[in-house]
Amino acid sequence: MIPESFKQDLLNRVDIVDLVSRYVQLKKGGANYQGLCPFHTEKTPSFTVSPTKQFYHCFGCAAHGNAIGFLMSYSSLGYVEAMKELASTVGMQLPDWRPDSPEQAAKKEHETDLYEMMVRASDFFRAQLKNAPRAIEYLKGRGLTGEIAARFRIGYAPDDWQGLRAVFPKYEDPALVDCGLVIENETKRYDRFRDRVMFPILNARGAVIGFGGRVLGEGEPKYLNSPETPLFEKGHEVYGLVQAREAVRSAGRVLVVEGYMDVVALAQFGIGYAVATLGTATTPIHVSKLQRLADEIVFCFDGDAAGRRAAWRALEVSLPLAQDHKPIRFLFLPADDDPDSFVRREGREAFERALRGAQTLSAFLLAELRAQSDLATAEGRSKFLAEAKPHLHKISAPALRLQIVKEVAEFARVQQDEAERLMDLRPASSYPRSAPARSAPPLTGSQERNLLRCVVANPTLAAELDAALFDAQQPETEILHLFASWSVEGTLPSQALLAERFLGGRHEAIMAEAQAAALEHELSEDDAVRIFRQIQLALRIQRKNEEVEAVRRQVESDPRSRDLQVELRRHTAELAQLKGQRL
């Protein structure tokens, strides 16, 4: 593990504008620099580099990061290799890793062992495939060439209870259980995968972290996945992402399918931008990760009841993450088809033609809601409005929500403002503001989201965070608590290092959005201070209003209580004082 102090020092010495300028032609635009994005094809510059905040963001494809991340993405370097190259440009040398404690040393060594085991297992499975005629025939029968099999590192787990003993002589090693290769019960220990075609699962850096095994013949389960391990979380990863990355950038689209063979078969037919979820429902992390790579996400499901249920789950997860400039679509194949069978029968052109006609997120949402209500009756239209309400509340993309509200109002035979009132849809909340001499463009979204944007623009504001004010249901709240604790501990990272703290975690997308907003709105440190304090004041007024109303209700139920009367006067005076601060 490279010490964070070294990363901070390195990023302080490296000028990201100078670094990016070696590969991208940049021009000054306001406080930042702009150019054509190197990670997707575009004619109008949307790639922005901030010299003050020391990170980059593309408003077209959402590529995002600091100097380390840029080198990793542009030069296809691993994390350590990128650090070494950056360090060499400023005369620094990567330090040898020294653990802070014996426990940390043991954890690091154990994790390294697990990665090495997964590589050895993958090599073993690939070698076994050469001597497995049934598996080879199966793959040939699915139309796969040796080139595609090699590209996806496909292998074969032999029909042997302890086949891995050949590559792991110390078969009793507990690490084999920890990384999911071996199962152990009270009486015996045996290989998890037996007589299966093996599909290695890679993380974003190309390391093997798990496997999916497809049974040969009629056994159950048809597909068997690695369990959750220190290396592998199903809800965080997608199959085929490493192999699909370049095709996704080229096409501007990512196709999400359900099975490993679907991904591989589509690649065989030249559709290389497909990935698959790993035997689990679509998660917010899946959607956020794919949005950073592609301009459009298309979910492809079978047209049967199970496929539509899976699609509905993907829609519910996608609603809060949908963006106005990045459409999300849903393609439903005939009930007896999957992408593998469809592309082999109809060919690439027919499949991509079907993709272009995929249903939009809004069309799918409205069609499902309409199917649940009889719009010919007043009661049915009322139900339709009630059913639409929670879904519309989830949508944060302002233009998309506006368009869907208009359609909902039309179907319900009401005016748009009536629909908004009935569904309790208010304009996106904003902070109170005085009339400053200069102001940044207004931010939109929840107060917690705007607070995070301000703290990202000026991390010293973390010392002023009032955690009692935040809505626990907002995803930004947990991150704000982290900032507050870092401030108390004296471990606040710089803006360039912020992305490192959240890299690969469940809050990575939220932080990327907050940093992008700071760029988009050219939010200076002074702007951030002013807006931050106004937001927290607005939240204090809101909380005090709620306290006043709560005590007033108590007074109404017990008007003779002198204590309640005194408490109401106190809260009312405090509310007036807060409102006076706003003036």
Answer whether 4-89 and 447-582 agree in fold. no
DSSP at 429: P
**pLDDT tens for residues 170-210?**
999 999 999 999 999 888 999 999 999 999 999 877 889 99
- pLDDT > 70? residue 439: no
Superfamily of domain 102-232: DNA primase, catalytic core, N-terminal domain (3.90.980.10)
**pLDDT tens for residues 299-326?**
998 878 888 899 999 999 999 888 888 8
Nearest to 241 by CA among 270, 272, 271, 211: 272
Sequence-ordered list of residues with C-beta below 8 angstroms from that of 109, at least 6 positions apart, any chain = none
Question: For position 534, what pLDDT does the model report?
Answer: 87
Strand ranges of the sheet holding 296-302, from the earlier edge strand across to the other edge: 238-239, 274-277, 253-257, 296-302, 328-333, 359-360
In the chain, domain spans:
4-89, 102-232, 236-365, 372-422, 447-582
Question: CATH top-level class for 372-422?
Answer: mainly alpha
Q: Which of 117-131, 195-209, 230-244 has the largest mean confidence?
A: 117-131
Q: What architecture (CATH level 2) is domain 447-582?
A: Orthogonal Bundle (1.10)
- Residue 382 in tokens: 């009322």
The answer to whether 326 and 291 have CB atoms below 8 angstroms apart is yes
What pTM was estimated for this model as a whole? 0.62
Helix (H, G, I), strand (E, B) or coil at 87: helix
Range 99-138 burial, b when 16+ CB lie within 10 A, else e:
eeeeeeeeeeeebeebbebbeebbebbbebbeebeebbeb
Question: For position 106, what pLDDT does the model report?
Answer: 53
The answer to whether 245 and 274 have CB atoms below 8 angstroms apart is no
Place of tokens 């990363």: 7
Judged by average pLDDT, the poorest of 14-28, 114-128, 148-162, 182-196 is: 14-28
Ramachandran class of 529: left when φ > 0, alpha when ψ lies in -120 to 50, beta otherwise = alpha
The answer to whether 397 and 323 have CB atoms below 8 angstroms apart is yes
Q: Which long-range contacts (CB under 8 A, 24 or more apart) does 11-15 make?
A: 11/54, 11/66, 11/67, 11/68, 11/494, 11/496, 11/497, 12/494, 12/496, 13/90, 13/92, 14/67, 14/86, 14/89, 14/90, 15/51, 15/54
Helix (H, G, I), strand (E, B) or coil at 299: strand
**DSSP secondary structure string, 553-579?**
HHHHH-TT-HHHHHHHHHHHHHHHHHH
Fold of 236-365: Dna Topoisomerase Vi A Subunit; Chain: A, domain 2 (3.40.1360)
Alpha carbon distance 358, 494 (integer Å): 43
Place of tokens 């490279």: 2
Superfamily of domain 4-89: Zinc finger, CHC2-typedomain (3.90.580.10)
* Region 448-459 average pLDDT: 86
- pLDDT > 50? residue 435: no
Q: How far is CA 224 from the centre of its chain?
A: 25
- Residue 247 in tokens: 């095709």
**Better-scored residue on pLDDT, 11 or 184:** 184
DSSP at 99: -
Sequence-ordered list of residues with C-beta below 8 angstroms from that of 173, at least 6 positions apart, any chain = none
Sequence-ordered list of residues with C-beta below 8 angstroms from that of 376, at least 6 positions apart, any chain = none
The answer to whether 296 and 326 have CB atoms below 8 angstroms apart is yes
